[in-house]
Amino acid sequence: MDLMTKLSILADAAKYDVACTSSGSSRAAQKGQLGNALSAGLCHSFTADGRCVSLLKILMTNVCVYDCAYCVNRSSNEVRRAAFTPHEIADLTIEFYRRNYIEGLFLSSGVIESPDRTTELMVRALSILRYEHGFRGYIHAKAVPGTSPELIDQLGRLCDRVSVNLELPSRQSLDLLAPQKSGQNILGPMRQIRDSIAEDAETRALVRRKPTFYQQQVSVARKQQAFAPAGQSTQMIIGATPETDFQILNLSAALYRSLNLKRIFFSAYLPVNQDPRLPSTAGVQLNREHRLYQADWLMRFYHYEAGELIDEANPFLAHDVDPKANWALNHLDLFPVEVNTAPLEVLLRVPGIGPAGARKIIKARRTTTLREAELRKLGIAYKRARYFLTCNGAYGGSGISFTREALHGVLAAPINGGRHGRRADNPLPEQMSLFEQTPTGEEVLPGHVGANAMLGASLPQGHPEHLPAPRTYASSTGSHPLQELAAWA
Amino acid sequence: MGVAQGITAGTALTASNPNGPSPATSTPLAHVAYLHDGSLEGLLCCIFESYVRHETPEDIVCERAYQPRFEQSALFIATDFERALRVRRGIEREGGRRAFGAVMRAAANDDPRTGVIIFNFVRYLMDRTSGRNRRRSVLNDLANPIVGELVALEQRVLNEEEKMRQFVRFSHLQNGVWFARCNPNANVIPLVMGHFVSRFNVQPFIIYDENHHVAGVYDGNDWSLVADTIVNIPDRTAEDAYVESLWQRFYDTLSIEARYNPELRRHFMPVRLWKNLPETKNV
């Protein structure tokens, strides 16, 4: 089989792996060696579905001894099988890298013979890349569940990021769809990777420390390669099994806390196999995946708790507004906030203001009083933020009554009347009715402006104290992260 | 540098002497455009000249891109490295090195208003009341229209730099050199050469910007800029064509049909860059 055919088969088999990030690792270039790694990562191309191509994402082989229901490579499927030799993987990576096609390699594999045998072959390919070619670019490897700790350790020292797939959001689903994989086989390597990363970081901090009179510099006997400096990630399939968003987000929060993951990837279930255990829905839940990612971002960059975004009574995220807007609509008593005085964590809770925008506001307001014109220049989404802000005492969202229903109508309205984004292709979830009250904002007459201005003026200025206390360790769901995980494994 | 020359556009014609203080003209011109050679130094010299002549130029542009306005005089300002350095030191003294970095990046823009925006910024920087806010970077003053415009220009160049780091594609020529052709909308090759030189230090390469006719050349030791149109490029190797076809196959394979989203792809990978990408050449 020639290289072209192998590449077609093994890239096709790997395309359902979601992660393709090259961030989190910074490795300076060295004279005489190819490559470096940038901490922000770099995307080199984008496929027709809009996903980025950052790494050469391939399977080492699509031969697999497992028979997981959702997987295109399961042993009972009749597909062409192929395998790269370690040298082929290394050479292909180098050739692509030299042309600036890719940022590095993402190596995953079906399980050939046994997990240990598979990992051995992967380690060989990566060793050739790192030691024979002196490659300093980014490498992401998937660890196969059930691999022995020694091999995981070798793998981690060759990679920037290691990940183990959680596959499904609950233990029961895993037992149902992937009976040959066990929860312990997945969590075991994840715990080991977490501990090795922590140990490695600690050693490095000790070695780096400047010696003082009282504190001697530690010298290590043997300098080791860093263990997965870009951390570990995982991924799970959404929509193949009946788990709710509530369960998924609580599991994510638990994973971030207890396993110190960098990222959790969600992959909307895509029917690739015929199997009685799988739902036969034709639609891919792209919108749900999108909302889950939004909630994930809110937890990681906006200091939201999972319990703030979702509760057991409403176990699915709203489909028409994003989770942040939804939170704001449910907490209208905390708004509007004064943009010139609100602290960072309060600004981060305003729909339309993101981390970059919030920091810009804080920079800019040191020298200037921010009013509408200034805010618009700063590049925040003023169109959304205005309903939740006062600028120097003046309420920004005049024209719309400050009620949940009216604001919901404004925030859920499609951007540019539906001409923007992919959702332009999709029909509205339900037909609009003549008799149903769907506030769109235009219904409110300009005469109401005065009332709203008064509303803005009469609101107290010092809202921040009403906002929830800063992020604490115990989640508001009341359960400890380790309990969440215990339920999974 | 040659002798400064004037370009006939409106009423007045004045030449400035690059090697000495400019003759203070009796009356500053009301409607004047300053033309420079297109370099950052040239732009800085225009700013210097405006202080010498007590004029506020309406346009500061590269002489090749100049479009005369009605009733406007045009002055060609010769580039003088001494003067450019003085302006640079002034910017760094008042605004710090970060401010000069922003000016340098903003100057790489193709936008015809670039010169005036930078001129306004430098003037604002110099005129700030001394003492007040001096310890805080002027670039934080984002709501100020003068600073805001400059920061926006800088951001555009930063974005274009990132695009080049992403979308420059090398091919292997028969003489052993790696060659890339690109079409950025700002003159960013000088700004991204550092990235490519450190990453690809094992291979001599040329990145040619076909919009600005500038090539960054790395010979294996050091890099330099060549401002010219490249005439002769040797053919690429047969192996290179094969690797490119592998890449094209990989790219085509990777897309998932059920998630087809062309708008998103165009958003991240502007169509104007597609002609120089092997994977999208035939789309």
Give the tens place of pLDDT for each residue, A66-81.
999 999 999 999 999 9
The predicted pLDDT at position A444 comes to 35
The predicted pLDDT at position A398 comes to 79
In chain A, which residues have their Cβ closer than 8 Å to the Cβ of B196?
A: 100
The predicted pLDDT at position B194 comes to 96
Q: Dihedral sign, CA of A426, A432, A437, A442?
A: positive
Min Cα separation B150/chain A (Å):
12
| First-residue to last-residue Cα distance in chain A | 41
pLDDT-wise least confident of A201-215, A448-462, B155-169: A448-462
Min Cα separation B176/chain A (Å):
13
The predicted pLDDT at position A456 comes to 37
The predicted pLDDT at position A451 comes to 34
In chain B, which residues have their Cβ closer than 8 Å to the Cβ of A33?
A: 201-202
**Contact state of A368 with B277 under an 8 Å Cβ cutoff:** no
User: Does the pLDDT value for residue A468 go beyond 90?
Assistant: no
Q: Which residue of B has its CA nearest to A27?
A: B199
Q: What is the pLDDT of residues B19-66, one digit of tens each?
A: 444 555 557 888 999 999 999 999 999 999 999 999 999 999 999 889
- In chain A, the domains with their CATH numbers are 3-207+226-309 (3.20.20.70), 336-425+435-466 (no CATH)
Three-state DSSP state, B223 = strand
Q: What is the pLDDT of residues A302-329, one digit of tens each?
A: 999 999 999 999 899 998 899 999 999 9
Q: What is the pLDDT of residues A345-387, one digit of tens each?
A: 999 999 999 999 999 999 889 888 999 988 988 889 999 999 9
The predicted pLDDT at position B2 comes to 35
The predicted pLDDT at position A400 comes to 85
**Contact state of B199 with A368 under an 8 Å Cβ cutoff:** no
Three-state DSSP state, A232 = strand
**Contact state of A15 with B169 under an 8 Å Cβ cutoff:** no
In chain A, which residues have their Cβ closer than 8 Å to the Cβ of B142?
A: 360, 363-364, 377-378
The tokens of B56 are what?
């506020």
Three-state DSSP state, B173 = strand
The predicted pLDDT at position A352 comes to 93
Q: Mean of the per-residue pLDDT values for chain A?
A: 84
Which DSSP symbol is given to A49?
T
In chain A, which residues have their Cβ closer than 8 Å to the Cβ of B205?
A: none
Angle at A78 between CA A76 and CA A80, to 5 degrees: 125
**Contact state of B253 with A11 under an 8 Å Cβ cutoff:** yes
**Contact state of A47 with B265 under an 8 Å Cβ cutoff:** yes
The predicted pLDDT at position A272 comes to 85
The predicted pLDDT at position A388 comes to 94
Q: What is the pLDDT of residues B140-189, one digit of tens each?
A: 888 889 999 999 999 999 999 999 999 999 999 999 999 999 999 999 99
The predicted pLDDT at position A418 comes to 61
Rg (CA), chain A: 25
Phi, psi of A404 (to 5 degrees): -60, -45
The predicted pLDDT at position A11 comes to 94
C-beta separation of A290 from A321 below 8 A: no
Three-state DSSP state, A255 = helix
User: Which residue from A17, A58, A54, A197 is spatially nearest to A138, judged by alpha carbons?
Assistant: A54
Nearest Cβ partner of B279 from A33, A36, A45?
A: A45
Tell me which residues of chain B, numbers 174 to 213, contact chain A at a CB-CB cutoff of 8 Å: 178, 180, 196, 198-203
All structural domains of chain B with their residue ranges: 6-158, 168-276
**pTM to 2 decimal places:** 0.85
CB-based contacts of B243: which residues, under 8 Å, 6+ apart?
A95, A96, A99
**Mean local confidence (pLDDT), B94-106:** 93
Q: Which of A20, A30, A285, A367 to mutate to test binding with chain B, by most B CBs within 10 Å of its CB?
A: A367
